[in-house]
Amino acid sequence: MKSKLVFICSILWLISFTASTQVMVNTFYDGTPARFYYPYGLTLDANGNIYVADSYNQKVRKISSTGDVSTIAGSGGQGSIDGQGMAANFYYLKGVAVDAAGNIYVGDAGNNKIRKISPSGLVSTLAGSDTPGSADGQGNKASFYSPHSIAVDVNGNLIVADCYNNKIRKISPTGLVSTFAGSGSIGSENGQSSLASFNRPTGVALDSNGNVYVADSKNNQIRKISSSGFVSTLAGSGSIGSTDGQGTAASFYYPCGVAVDANGNVYVADAGNHKIRTISPNGLVSTLAGSGLAGRIDEKGNAASFNSPFGVTVDANRNVYVADYLNNTIRKISPTGIVSTLAGISATGGLSDGKSNDGKGPVTFLLSPTGVSVDAKGSVYVSDQFDNKIKKISNTGVLSTLAGSGAFGNVDGQGISSSFGYPNGIALDVEDNLYVADASNNSIRKISPTGLVSTLAGSRIQGSANGQGSEASFNSPNGVAVDADGNVYVADYGNRKIRKITPTGIVSTLAGSGLEGSVDGIGITASFIRPSSIAVDATKNVYVTDESNHKIRKISSSGFVSTLAGSGSIGSTDGQGTAASFYYPNGIAVDAYGNIYVGDTDNEKIRKISPTGLVTTLAGFGVPGSTDENGTLATFNSPQGVAVDAKGNLFVADFSNYKIRKITLGSVLYVEKNKLEMKENAYLYPNPSKNTLFIHGLQGITSYQMTDAAGVDYVIALSDTHTLDISDLQDGMYFLKAHTQSGIKVFKFVKE
């Protein structure tokens, strides 16, 4: 039978050699999630980019249409300095707007100014002085008192909610400030512009007819200023409440933000009610989304929850975007009412540029990458533990959610309709089924190539019972591996056992007594403390990171448990077998040649164990960091899951860096001729060859490696065959390395 070429490595001809390996660590995917700190206002430009007034970070942020979050202006320090981009500073900015030319306007509330950011990023003061006031006038001769939201009309005039002055102000394109509406007295009087009154107006929006809508926050009303300047109450009784209904029969509770779509529907960020409300063109108020209770649930309509939503904007497709202030997130509501988190981490406020949902479906951030696996096409799969999702990075670098809604649960189903409970280790079988150690559900889940999630074994109940499928039980399974026959191996963390699931779903205990310990021995006479990750080689030897023992254990195909490496003491010493030391290792993989790779988590390193048991540090300096560099000059931050592809590249779930790192091994060969120690008269024929290559004189071949003259690697499936099909190769010179049970032989041949 012929061996078909797939991808592999490098060499020279009929010579023996000594090889050293040059290791390069790169970032394969940077999934750093963006963070905000009390985002207040937001707006959209014509290209679908979202701009956010990130109030407590004192910055203006941008969410691009492709999902990248960046800082476009603001040093982060409080101040009113003009300048380029992050050389400028703000003071509790509240509102943001953008004009047709791409100029951005900021309601710099703490500075009592309106700031302008040019398309090139230059920040200047458009209007307002350092002293609070209500003077009209040109530029800095005018004054404001905590200006909040801004809207831009078709002529380039700015409409400003001058909150503490209880006025709506107007700034002409030449910088002339005037009072558009409001007497300045606290009240809720309707009437012609200067006779009307407001009480802490915070939000403004314009429709296509030039009407202005005002979120009159302390009046609990939405006011309307007609294009002729007449102020009326569009909706809201004035009393605190959350009643839907017609116009003033409805009620609000501290409405802060307002937006209008092309059809004249008005959207209200009803902050005190934790809801998003809509007002139809005929004045009917209804609840678009939000349960009314403070929360951060992504769901449909009133099953979703917000926490003091302050800002709102709407795009041409009627997607609504919300600055969810106390959740430190930007939320999105689809036209059908589905609420999702677009950007930000719903936790303590913070600052980091990075990834978001791109607003079109695929997720682009990694919240807690834990497990990793790679398929034959180069796509990488990631268990995003705290996001309760399984994600996929295509070989072109696009990240999407393969399965999991993000909500904690144990629902089986298609793709994102399913749910997980802190999924940990993952592994692919030869048919691209993905197995998941669903830790908090005490289950092993299976995701088919089409994305269908099912429960392979276990139930939500903790236990250690063996049996068929759901009759069996686990206790916080952390790691999973699968062999070529479809047997699944589980690092059953809480039970201190290694479990095996047959292709028919029968669960048994492969090793581990269940008692804490580090005893070697056969099957259940052996003991572990915290088996956290697991791998299996081609001959069904199983390798386990015994995390709290700081050891790497091996279970032979006959079931004998031994300590492969690690003294049991915390350390980072390289050396032979148990002379080496680890520090809470929590990721493991094995390649086709028996090399084992370990995510040595608390040492911030990736370690390698050779087939002879020699432990070396492959990558990582030993201090937390995210530096891409050669080998031990690179840095990691809690590296966990490890996977190896057919070309020998490693992929690492760099947990606290929110990244997937790639380690490329490049062989550097030092050649010595005429040192062939094998007695066989080995050679290739015919050479040159067109389609088929025969190997003569080698016995016990275990694997092949090959490279072309340009250094492109190829892999040949593990086989003891002496016949190779090279018909798929391009014409040229190649080098073939044959691994045998007694050594290595290297050949040069020509494909013609």
Segment 402-424, tens digit of pLDDT: 999 888 999 999 999 999 999 99
Give the per-residue pLDDT at 363: 54
- Domains of the chain: total: 3
Residue 665 maps to a domain: no
How far does Cα 409 stand from its chain's mean position?
Answer: 20
Residue 531 maps to a domain: yes
The residue range of the domain holding 747 is 3-21+675-751
Residue 654 maps to a domain: no
Give the per-residue pLDDT at 186: 98
Are both 329 and 458 inside the same structural domain? Answer: no
Low-confidence ranges of the chain (pLDDT < 50): 1-21, 358-362, 667-680, 718-720
Residue 368 maps to a domain: no
* Contacts for 615-618: CB closer than 8 Å, 24+ residues apart: 615/565, 615/574, 615/575, 615/576, 615/577, 615/580, 616/574, 617/572, 617/574, 618/23, 618/650, 618/663
Is residue 192 within 8 Å of 207, Cβ to Cβ?
Answer: no
**What is the rounded distance in angstroms from the CA atom of residue 204 to the CA atom of residue 192?**
18
Are both 289 and 319 inside the same structural domain? Answer: yes
Nearest to 276 by CA among 222, 239, 195: 222
**What is the rounded distance in angstroms from the CA atom of residue 151 to the CA atom of residue 160?**
7
Nearest to 607 by CA among 51, 50, 615: 615
List the CATH number of the domain containing 733: 2.60.40.3080
DSSP state of 582: B
Residue 667 maps to a domain: no
> Does a cis peptide bond (omega within 30 degrees of 0) precede residue 686?
yes
Residue 66 maps to a domain: yes
Are both 320 and 456 inside the same structural domain? Answer: no
Are both 464 and 527 inside the same structural domain? Answer: yes
Are both 691 and 718 inside the same structural domain? Answer: yes
Nearest to 26 by CA among 587, 634, 597: 634
Are both 187 and 274 inside the same structural domain? Answer: yes
Give the per-residue pLDDT at 725: 79
List the CATH number of the domain containing 562: 2.120.10.30
Give the per-residue pLDDT at 672: 29
Segment 548-597, tens digit of pLDDT: 999 999 999 999 999 999 999 999 999 999 999 999 999 999 998 899 99
Is residue 451 within 8 Å of 436, Cβ to Cβ?
Answer: no
DSSP 524-536: GGS-BS-EEEEEE
Are both 50 and 13 inside the same structural domain? Answer: no
Cα atoms in the 13 Å half-sphere on the side-chain side of 504: 4
Residue 641 maps to a domain: no
Phi, then psi, of 628 in degrees rounded to 5: -85, 125
**What is the rounded distance in angstroms from the CA atom of residue 209 to the CA atom of residue 226?**
9
Q: Which two tokens stand for residue 81?
A: 């300095």
**∠ at Cα 161 (133, 170), nearest 5°?**
80
Give the per-residue pLDDT at 681: 58
Q: Which two tokens stand for residue 715?
A: 């892999």
Nearest to 10 by CA among 683, 690, 729, 670: 670
Nearest to 705 by CA among 592, 596, 595: 592
Last residue of a domain, one of 580, 595, 620: 620
Whose structure tokens read 């006011």? Answer: 223
Residue 198 contacts by C-beta under 8 Å, 6 or more apart in sequence? 166, 167, 168, 181, 182, 186, 187, 188, 214, 216, 219, 223
Whose structure tokens read 């009240």? Answer: 187
* Three-state SS at 504: coil
Are both 9 and 65 inside the same structural domain? Answer: no
Is residue 15 within 8 Å of 676, Cβ to Cβ?
Answer: yes
Are both 17 and 74 inside the same structural domain? Answer: no
Are both 307 and 453 inside the same structural domain? Answer: no
Q: Which two tokens stand for residue 283?
A: 């004045």
Are both 105 and 154 inside the same structural domain? Answer: yes
Cα atoms in the 13 Å half-sphere on the side-chain side of 464: 16
Are both 615 and 679 inside the same structural domain? Answer: no
Q: Which two tokens stand for residue 44?
A: 């959209």
Residue 668 maps to a domain: no
Nearest to 228 by CA among 270, 259, 266, 196: 196
